[in-house]
Structure 1
Amino acid sequence: MGLYIHIPFCKSKCFYCDFNSYSGKDYLQERYVDSLIAELKFREPIIEKSGISTIYIGGGTPTYLNNIAFKKLFSYLKRYYRSGVEYSCEANPGTLNKEKLSILKENGVNRLSIGLQSWNDDILKRLGRIHNVYDFIENYDSARKIGFDNINVDIMFSIQGQTMSDFENTLDNVCNMNPEHISCYGLIIEDGTLFGERYKNGELKEVDEDTDRAMYYTAVEKLRKAGYLRYEISNFAKSNYECKHNIIYWDTRHYLGIGAGAHSYIGDVRFSNVTAPEKYIRLIENYKLPVADEEHLTTDDMMSEFMFMGLRMTKGVQFSDFKNRFGLDMENVYGKQIEKLQKYGLVKVNGNSLSLTDRGIDISNAVFVEFIR
């Protein structure tokens, strides 16, 4: 089972971000960490029964926690670390220092995910990032010196005003830093964000599809030449450095989410916590579960998710895995859909696996819809 811990605090909200994150609520940090620990204690029966294979601390910005809250959280979480457990923490340049890196290392964290986004300071300002390229380089080098040997770097493309030259410069410089993993995402303008407001007001335009696809395939090719395997639509890794925690999601295996807005999937039940940190804290302090929504999945639900989540990975979905999990042949359940998608060149069958073609990746959401029952 994967364990996810959500930290909703940020120094400031990036202009494109629609995650459950907040600035200006630093005063809640220590009570929030106490509440996380209380929720973990309540969920201990699930943890003991299922065991933990991965831990992921995400946000928000986990490394923005003040020193007291930061030390308390990671000191407590150390009890869940065992040899072989992938233990990741997200970190943003400008909130990371040698002291926090040392705390992470001492308490078992063995994988960092650092949000760079661009090697261009002007673009970083345009995105609402709080750091510059120098901050990233300094934090990355410090992490290496302290002993982190599994680092992911996040980068973005399809940013308004970003040229192909800008993006290639980011790719080249990040590859020269030699991280073990690179996540490469196209910017999506989401409702409820500052970019979303600017888009509605006509102040911001989406990058055209041809440019978006050209940037994506430039990344695929450059990263391939640099030794990074594309193992999921937006994720690239050196051999044996794929993110095990995210693969739990794509394999639709079980995970437990702790914290405000965190999602869980246990057995046939998916549930999520209240999103507001204040409400989350209040419920926990009053010895109440912070669950906001709960859904019992049908077999059809689970089969659909198995298909469209698994198809995000380049290895695709395995016919034998489908049979083992559901007791049914994939061809009997989705034969017509697979035949239709093959006809249009969107999926391919290779022995025991069904996977997306490059064209299928380009319009992946349209492919995924075919498997919703």
Structure 2
Amino acid sequence: MNLLKKLIRRLIVGKEQEFAFKKVQIDTFCIPNIKKSSMYIHVPFCKSMCPYCPYNRVQYDEKLIAGYFNALSEEIDLYSKKLGKIEISSIYIGGGTPTNAIDELIVIIEKIKDKFYVEGDIAIETTVEDATNETLLKLKLAGINMISIGIQSFNEKYLRILGRNYSGKDIENAIENTKKHEFDNVNIDIMFAFPGQTDEEILDDIKRAKQTNADQITTYPLFTFPYSTIGTYLKIKKLKMPDFIDRKSFYYLIYDYFKTHNYKTVSVWSFKKSNTEKKYSSVTRDYYIGLGAGAASRIGKMFYFNTFSISEYNNRLLNEKKLPVSVNMSITDKLSKIYWFYWKLYETRFSEHDFNSIADRKMKFIVKIFYCLKLIKKQEGIYKMTKRGAFWIHFFQNHFMLEYINKVWSIMKNNKYPEKIKF
């Protein structure tokens, strides 16, 4: 497997390209001038700490809330001073559980609208417990038009493994309640590939998900990052995760079910009702400004992370009045093309015209290989991943991209300003 990873990396990136994040000297750190960007806001607080979650989060504590949101406000001011009143084409709010601090978050959203031109969609993550009428109404009034509820499973056996204290009926009520508020897209997250999970259990979950009438259903396997609680738990209990054959079987089962019921594939994980206009997506933005502890930004030819430490994030902004950037990677034109190509494959479709305008020789060669292997097809000027192709992108993400993410996050969770993170 390691040899295969090296061969694929060399084919895509090349031997000469250094692939590393380096510590930022903040006094000489300069953000390029831009006119337009998406934005990500990270709210790390959780009232219920899910054991599988790999993201930068902490236990909800009212004593931490005010300081963190004051720091967020200062970060907005610093970007506003450096960039001016640029256009923000979309906002994504993740965590943690952003709705655990709904009132403070709404103040931040209003400040962003004051400092920038917000033109596009505003999407947020929430939980079954937070999908109350009061919270949902506040979200709508703040201009949030897309929402994702992390339900994970209707099966109470797996909900207990995940540390969730609600029932399948609670999930159905939360989704019904959310749908009443007429968001442009209500997405729900479903996990699969639990240890010992059967085809019948997966099918029951996705059938019940469909019956809720959610606009979009995102299904993804249980990720077992080594540093997450559940990663440690599985190691201690010596529970066996499903092997490659089983994961492929599970993925095909899910894919075939949604295709049979006329859902549209909008990513390797996500399926949208054919009559839903807008898709819910958390990751496929070309350029974005990341606000909050551990947030990533991609601006111009820079890709950088804020420090993961909440105390250091607050200190850098509130006491030093400087951006909390920890590490940065320079993005070459070649890496920029690879970034575009990867996320188009992830979305499972892209236009032939767009591809030809950006593709280099290697990218065209990869598409030819995909075509020969029946991983991709072309219809009316659009390249589309086949079921087989979508699975292999899913597999690639699990065994390559998540390994890189795990390395970055593992190091940055333990080091406020690492000197170098090399891949």
Shorter-chain TM-score: what band? 0.7 to 0.9
Separation in 2 of the partners of 1:266 and 1:356? Answer: 29
Equivalence for 2:325: 291
Please tell me the residue identity of whatever aligns with 1:356. M
- Retained in 2: the 8 A contact 1:319–1:352? yes
Residue 38 of structure 1 is matched in structure 2 by 74
Counterparts of 1:303-322 in structure 2 under 5 Å?
A: 303-316=337-350, 318-322=351-355
Which residue, out of 241, 246, 259, partners 1:211? 246
C-alpha distance in 1 between matches for 2:177 and 2:396: 43
1:120 aligns with 2:155: yes
- Within-5 A mapping of 1:138-217: 138-217=173-252
| In structure 2, C-alpha distance between the alignment counterparts of 1:81 and 1:178, rounded to whole Å | 35
* Contact 1:86 1:244 (8 Å CA) reproduced: no
Deviation at 1:185, TM superposition (A): 0.7
CA RMSD, 1 decimal:
2.7
Aligned with 2:45: secondary structure?
coil
1:282 match: 315
Query: Aligned AA for 2:347?
Result: M
How far off is 1:173 after superposition?
Answer: 1.4
Paired letter, 1:19: Y
1:74, distance to aligned residue in structure 2 (A): 4.3
Once the two structures are superposed, what CA deviation does each residue of 1:310-367 show, in whole Å capped at 9, x if it has no partner? 1112214x4432444x4xxx36343443444444443445564444333333332777
Instruction: Give identity over the alignment, percent.
Output: 28
Q: Are residues 1:16 and 2:52 paired?
A: yes
Structure 2 counterpart of 1:177, one-letter code = T
Aligned pair partner of 2:366 in 337, 349, 362: 337
Q: Could you tell me how far apart the structure 1 residues matched to 2:105 and 2:143 are? A: 14
Aligned to 1:100: 135
Contact 1:18–1:192 (8 Å) recurs in 2: yes
For the Cα contact (< 8 Å) 2:375–2:389, is it kept in 1? yes
1:350-361 aligned at under 5 Å gives the runs 350=379, 352-361=381-390
Q: CA deviation at 1:197?
A: 1.2
**Which residue matches 1:300?**
334
Q: How far off is 1:8 after superposition?
A: 0.6
Q: 1:258 — aligned with what?
A: 291
Counterpart Cα distance in 2 of 1:334 and 1:147: 41
Contact 1:54 1:244 in 2 (8 A): no
Aligned in 2, Cα 1:182/1:367: closer, same or farther, shift over 3 Å? closer
Q: Distance in 1 between matches of 2:174 and 2:97?
A: 15
Mark the runs of 5 or more structure 1 residues left unpaired by the alignment: none
Closer/same/farther in 2, CA of residues 142 and 348 from structure 1, 3 Å limit: closer
1:55 maps to which residue?
A: 91
**Which deviates further from its counterpart, 262-271 or 36-45?**
36-45
Which residue identity is paired with 2:204? Answer: N
The structure-2 alpha-carbon separation of the partners of 1:307 and 1:23, relative to structure 1 and needing over 3 Å to count, comes to same
Whole-angstrom CA distance in 2 between matches of 1:126 and 1:366: 24
1:154–1:183: 8 Å Cα contact kept in structure 2?
Answer: yes
SS of 2:348's equivalent in the other structure is coil
Whole-angstrom CA distance in 2 between matches of 1:364 and 1:20 = 25
Quote the Cα distance in structure 2 between the aligned partners of 1:151 and 1:261. 26
CA distance in 1, matches of 2:132, 2:279: 24
Identify the residue that residue 363 of structure 1 maps to in structure 2. Answer: 392
Deviations 1:249-287 (A, max 9, x none): 43x521111111111111111111111222111111021
Tell me: higher relative CO, structure 1 or 2? Use CA pairs within 8 A at least 6 residues apart. Answer: 2
Summarize the Cα distance change of 1:351–1:147 in structure 2 as closer, same or farther, 3 Å threshold.
Answer: closer
**CA pair 331-282 structure 1, distance change in 2 beyond 3 A:** closer
Change over 3 Å in CA distance of 1:322–1:362 after alignment to 2: closer
Q: Distance in 2 between matches of 1:81 and 1:153?
A: 30
CA deviations 1:187-235 (Å, max 9, x no partner) are 1211101221133335321112233222222222222233320121001
Letter in 2 for 1:238: K
State which drifts further: 197-206 or 32-41. Answer: 197-206
Q: C-alpha separation between the residues in 2 aligned to 1:10 and 1:269?
A: 30
Distance 1:50 1:78, change over 3 A: closer
Give the alignment partner of residue 225 of structure 1, picking from 235, 245, 260: 260
Tell me the distance in 2 between the aligned counterparts of 1:74 and 1:335: 42
- What secondary structure sits across from 1:311 in the alignment? helix
- Distance of aligned partners of 1:10 and 1:308 in 2 relative to their CA distance in 1, 3 Å threshold: same
